Amino acid sequence: MQYLPVCLRLKDAPVILVGGGTVGTRKARLLLRAGANLTVVAPEISSELESLLAEHGGTWQRSEYRETDLHGRMLVVAATPEQSVNEQIHADATALNLPVNVVDSPALCSFIFPSIVDRDPLLIAISSSGRSPVLARKLRRKLESEVPGAYGALAEFAGRYRDRVKEAIPEETPRRLFWEQIMEGTVAEQVLGGRESRAEQMLEEQLANTQAHYVGEVYLIGAGPGDPDLMTFKAARLLQTADVVLYDRLVSEPILEMSRRDAERIYVGKRRDDHAVPQEQINQLLVDLAKEGKRVVRLKGGDPFVFGRGGEEIELLAQHGVPFQVVPGITAGNGAACYAGIPLTHRDHAQSVRFATGHLRDGTINLDWGKFLSETETVVFYMGLVGLPVICEKLIEHGRPANTPIALIERATTKEQRVLAGTLDTIVDIVEREKPRAPTLIILGSVVTLHDSLSWFGDS
């Protein structure tokens, strides 16, 4: 994140705008709408800008820019056609520790103007960090059509009742859950429909019936293999409601950032031979947090029920009567195969697929190797990076040809994805040379030969 989005209160604040052309006029319109005490410095200004200043009580200083014009200001905007003047304004403002925006020059900006969807007092700001204003405006137009104007009235309504609800429900979590019910229910619909008197009556009725304790709930969410776009709508929605998020190293940072900013985040491991929190403690933590009345998300890479130990976690929740939901995710086997251009099944190569764990225990992998010999079946090994030499050795030992195609996919579906392809007798040396990092996934079978022709994503 290159910029921190903030909402700046400019009511009666002394702001200076240098430049009075078409671009400067657009900036002045925004600043004046925000209530700024605006001074425009320019030898000439547009007729529209002159009218705006007269309407809102701004000042036109008919002169060239001087460094002393910045003294006593809170905010600086430069919109002159002269690059040298804009650079000087940036230097002067920076020396005075004043926030400065030089229009169309991101390198000279300590802040930038976002595209705004205005449903006052509700504001939605979209920014491309100065890279593509056209894209930001496109997204604004999309949101303009999807966010009704009445949302501003709903925000005003909530503001009027904020202290009343806080007094009635002093505890933070129950109060937030109450507001979520209001905003997603019939009270909000009454406000959006222009029936605020009825909405006030309904809200008071709900306050009178508020229970002192809210029962918490646990959501086991499959986060998929890494690409946040592969999250389901339900997973994204529930993640946004969580008070607490338990996550491990298989969950990518962009996915974690989809949670609420005020949600507590608890890292619970896990990497080989180093579990930050043992599984039994994770299970109990889910129970304890839910009993505190919190909405808890257990965020898992891939799918919770495919080598994710989700069954163990909900078993304890069920024993303690804690409500829970399980949200499936795209398992790493499917995601990695698709992004690597390796179909798990193909009429000419494989008519079935088998998923197995490649995790070492006491230096070996306890699998029935005789079941892995079919050349018309694709085999997917999870957690097999360290155990790869054992996997290859056992497969060859039990009869798989040494030239059987095999691929190791590193950090699948992310921008760091890499595919290392070889055969049972060459892949160990390839991995030793390339030194991939976990998480990785291994695919065995003739479908791997399709990778070169069907791969479409990442560095292969």
The residue ranges of every structural domain in the chain are 14-113, 151-208, 217-330, 333-454
- Report how far residue 376's alpha carbon sits from residue 305's, in angstroms, rounded to the nearest whole number: 26
What's the pLDDT at 148? 83
CATH 1.10.10.10 correct for 217-330: no
Q: What is the CATH number of domain 14-113?
A: 3.40.50.720
Q: Is 231 annotated as a binding residue?
A: no
Positions marked catalytic: 248, 270
Closest by CA to 441, choosing from 418, 459, 425, 460, is: 418
Q: Which CATH class is domain 151-208?
A: mainly alpha
What's the pLDDT at 212? 47
Q: Is 155 annotated as a binding residue?
A: no
Q: What is the CATH number of domain 333-454?
A: 3.30.950.10
Q: Is 412 annotated as a binding residue?
A: yes
What's the pLDDT at 295? 87
Q: What is the mean pLDDT of each run of 10 residues along the chain (460 residues)?
A: 90 97 95 97 96 96 96 97 96 97 94 92 92 91 87 94 93 85 85 91 87 71 93 90 91 91 87 69 94 90 92 93 92 95 95 92 85 95 94 96 97 94 97 95 97 79
CA distances from 214 to 147, 164, 173, 210, 284 (A): 30, 19, 9, 9, 19
Answer whether the bond into residue 174 is a cis peptide, omega within 30°.
Answer: no
Q: Is 43 annotated as a binding residue?
A: yes
What's the pLDDT at 97? 97
Alpha helices in 97-195 (DSSP H): 133-146, 151-168, 172-183, 186-192
What's the pLDDT at 373? 94
**Chain-centre distance for alpha carbon 125:** 16
Q: What is the enclosing helix (H) or strand (E) of 397?
A: helix 388-397
What's the pLDDT at 185? 78
Q: Is 44 annotated as a binding residue?
A: yes
